[in-house]
Amino acid sequence: MAHTSVLLSILMTSLFASTASAAIVRHTFNVGNRTVHKLCEKQVITVVNGRLPGPIIRVHEGDELIILVLNNSPYNLTIHWHGIFQIRSQWSDGPAYVTQCPILPGNSYTYRFKIIGQEGTLWWHAHFSWLRATVYGPLIIRPPRGRSYPYVKPHKEIPILLGEWFNRNVVDIEMEAQAVGVVPDESVAFTFNGQTGDLYPCSNRPKDTYKLDVVQGKTYLLRIINAALNNQLFFKIANHELTVVAIDALYTNPYETDVVVLGPGQTTDVLFTANQRMGNYYMAAHPYASGVGVPFDNTTTRGIVRYHGAKKSSVPEMPVLPAFNDTPTAFKFYSNLTGLTTGPHWIDFPREVDKHMFITIGLGISDCGANATCNSTFGPQFRLSANMNNESLRFPTTTSLLEAFYYGEQGIYTEDFPDRPAIEFDYTSNNLSSSLLYTPKGTRVTKVPFNTTVQVVLQNTALIVAESHPIHLHGFNFYVLKQGFGNYNEERDGKNFNFVNPQMRNTIAVPGGGWAVIRFRLDRPDPRIGDFGRGEHRRDFGRVAFNQIVSPNFIGLFDDPPEELGKQGLIMGEGSPDAQPSFIFGATNVLSANEVGLVHPSTVGYDSSRAADSEEAEAVAVIREMEATLGRGMKRVMVLTDCRRLVSAFEMGSTNLSWRALTLAPKMLFLAGRFHEFRFQFINRSFNFEAHALAALGACSPAFSLFEPNEASDLVNSAIFVLPSGA
């Protein structure tokens, strides 16, 4: 309990300290399709605000971010804020079917979260299907206003996003592979900030190559992000040394190197000084591919570092990149990074472990599925799938994991994810029995108490192929205690962990044919699904969720679901209230996005037989009388603020209704409170004011005040319900 008090004290101190100079930073992401010409091909891609990469988000530690996502693409999608803690904002993390259902085409969603206890380079990306290939961008967190970096101030900061390019629609590539149960096609190029460079076909135009202009003698901070789907990448600048100062928005002890390697989803901040002779120099990147016999995109992208004053005709020097299979160089880089214990936000790692897990990671085969024809090498009845402890995740289809946890829904997941594989074997052997390949699919999580310290051995397997796998922990950082090759052996490998200054990350590339030991504490005072899973490079994920048991003492420290959180297939969107015979609908899990929204006449029904007593029955009767009076006059519900200060304005078609009828409001709200206890059933039926009104009132709390709007207001002949912020 003492530790919990200290934790809360630190959290509150951080909150108050950052609030003093905090700002609200707003962005609008308009996601849509765009036609581009690249690599001799004309292609339609999905991007944000017409750009690849998408917009740069720049904030200071302590700021609040509000991002409205308008999905004008033809695909379902969500946006994940890779590496953000999401303290009291777990609903904004973004992984589809984990914390929310997808945003449907033509609809919108607003992500709201504060940047608390973090600074450095993170990024955002689509978290549905393969849209991440073109829907991504940097999220740069600077120190709080008035505090500098723990290293020399750079002359300029430059985000460098390493991406992949496909010559076909990425969603089609993924879906075609899924239809027959095989590995999707590889990319055909890599990119620097969306540009392929001049080594590819039809790429000799100046605009095809990214250029970085520098001044001789100046020091620059490169914020490098690996946004590739499933490729580790080497990065190098000809004739220049690099100093690593941070990884995954966590400061490191300065590490001198001439080459950087990043796994998918990782970020690395490096300082480099333009201290060479006047001229031009290539920066280049190509894959580190550890899987023997695994097809990969063996190409190189490059950009140009141009010294100010150098002759334009100067031929750039090309760096010598490591070979694609140079494991010693990659492992040296990964294993030599250490945490800056004197830096901001460093937290001493927990010495005592409450829960040990041993998780194998690899590929397997699962049932092809009904109404599918697979074409894998293992037969028409099987498809390839990724797994953890021989379990492959089946996503929910009716709700998200977090909603199911929050509402206590049964049958969505089971709390029995194994701490160890059911069968232990020689994980990295090249001669494994085919009987080990079959992977059942399910939705299993592990349930742990709040403030649990977890140590996980991540063990790659050689089933089908031995390759490196990216692992990302949503909402938390972890300490990397040790990495190695072969089968992890506790007696041999459990010694000499780095307990002095271990590197901290949110994403790790587990060595191919090897293992990594990580440790973390589930210490957020909110209920969350700590989603710990492989990168989104395959649709059949291996994944485990950490479902925390939260003490009642912490109930006031997390937020209710946002009003616009939507069910799959019924997420609210923007539109005119007069456009269709459609009606606004307010509920705990479905409310209007961007203040005004529409939904077709698929509404929530209420069976009056559920009334438990005469008080409820009377409330129902009153509301039905209102419905008869109003007819179909109610046009819209306008959500003006968040759930804890919900203001819903009902525009009425009739001016004759006396709002004195709402003297029975306590009884109505009593009934609405009962609504809050069960999920609404969606049925096709005509508009029902009773259901709408009760759902809106019950969306947050059975406590509100009622007042008439000013006659000069735009909401004449309306009534406004206000839930106090303390509700």
Q: Is 140 helix (H, G, I), strand (E, B) or coil?
A: strand
Whole-number Å distance between alpha carbons of 695 and 692: 5
What is the distance in angstroms between the CA of the first residue and the CA of the last residue of the chain? Answer: 27
Cα angle 672, 677, 678 (rounded to 5 degrees) comes to 105
Structure tokens, 258: 């001439």
Bridge partners, 358 (sequence order)? 457
CATH of domain 148-345: 2.60.40.420
DSSP for 517-554?
A: EEEEEE--SS--EEEEEE-TTSSS--EEEEEEE--GGG
Residue 661 burial by Cβ neighbours in a 10 Å radius (0-12, 13-18, 19+):
middle
Q: Is 660 helix (H, G, I), strand (E, B) or coil?
A: helix
Phi, psi dihedrals of residue 435, rounded to the nearest 5°:
-65, -15
Using alpha carbons, select from 131, 113, 115, 111 the residue that is nearest to residue 52. 131
**Residue entry with tokens 């991007």:** 47
Phi, psi dihedrals of residue 647, rounded to the nearest 5°:
-125, 110
Whole-number Å distance between alpha carbons of 164 and 537: 12
Whole-number Å distance between alpha carbons of 454 and 417: 14
Contact 231, 289 (CB under 8 A): yes
Q: Is the four-CA dihedral 347, 348, 353, 359 of positive or negative sign?
A: positive
- Domain 355-526+540-563: which topology? Immunoglobulin-like (2.60.40)
So what's the pLDDT on residue 525?
A: 54
DSSP for 694-707?
A: HHHHTTT-S--EEE
Whole-number Å distance between alpha carbons of 235 and 231: 12
CA 10 to chain centre: 26
Whole-number Å distance between alpha carbons of 98 and 530: 9
In whole angstroms, how far apart are CA 515 and each of 205, 349, 421, 480, 694? Answer: 44, 20, 15, 11, 53
DSSP for 120-182?
A: EEEEEEE-STTGGGTSEEEEEEEPPTT---SSPPPSEEEEEEEEEE-SS-HHHHHHHHHHHTS
So what's the pLDDT on residue 398?
A: 80
Contact 125, 83 (CB under 8 A): no
- Segments making up each domain of the chain, as ranges: 21-146, 148-345, 355-526+540-563
pLDDT in tens, 644-667: 222 233 333 332 222 222 323 333
So what's the pLDDT on residue 309?
A: 93
So what's the pLDDT on residue 396?
A: 84
Whole-number Å distance between alpha carbons of 33 and 39: 18
Question: Torsion-angle region of residue 565: left (phi > 0), alpha (psi -120 to 50) or beta?
Answer: beta
Whole-number Å distance between alpha carbons of 9 and 542: 36
Whole-number Å distance between alpha carbons of 394 and 260: 35
Structure tokens, 360: 């194998």
Using alpha carbons, select from 21, 369, 302, 356 the residue that is nearest to residue 162. 302
Structure tokens, 155: 């002359």
Mean pLDDT by 10 residues, the chain (727 residues): 38 45 91 94 95 97 95 94 91 88 90 95 94 97 94 97 95 87 90 97 92 98 96 97 98 98 97 96 96 88 96 91 96 97 91 93 87 83 88 83 82 88 91 88 83 92 88 92 96 93 95 95 64 46 50 46 54 25 23 23 32 49 44 30 29 29 32 30 30 39 30 25 25
Using alpha carbons, select from 94, 136, 88 the residue that is nearest to residue 113. 88
CA atoms lying within 13 Å on the CB side of residue 9: 6
Q: Is the four-CA dihedral 612, 618, 619, 625 of positive or negative sign?
A: positive
Contact 301, 227 (CB under 8 A): no
Whole-number Å distance between alpha carbons of 36 and 228: 19
So what's the pLDDT on residue 81?
A: 97
Whole-number Å distance between alpha carbons of 629 and 109: 34
Whole-number Å distance between alpha carbons of 582 and 571: 14
Contact 481, 518 (CB under 8 A): yes
CA atoms lying within 13 Å on the CB side of residue 170: 26
**Fold match, 148-345 / 355-526+540-563:** yes
So what's the pLDDT on residue 677?
A: 27
Structure tokens, 539: 């649709």
Structure tokens, 193: 């900030």
Side chain identity at 299, as an amino acid letter? T
pLDDT in tens, 46-81: 999 999 999 999 999 999 999 999 999 999 999 999
**Architecture of the 21-146 domain:** Sandwich (2.60)
Structure tokens, 7: 């934790």
Q: Is 409 helix (H, G, I), strand (E, B) or coil?
A: coil
So what's the pLDDT on residue 543?
A: 52
Structure tokens, 464: 């089908």
So what's the pLDDT on residue 393?
A: 82
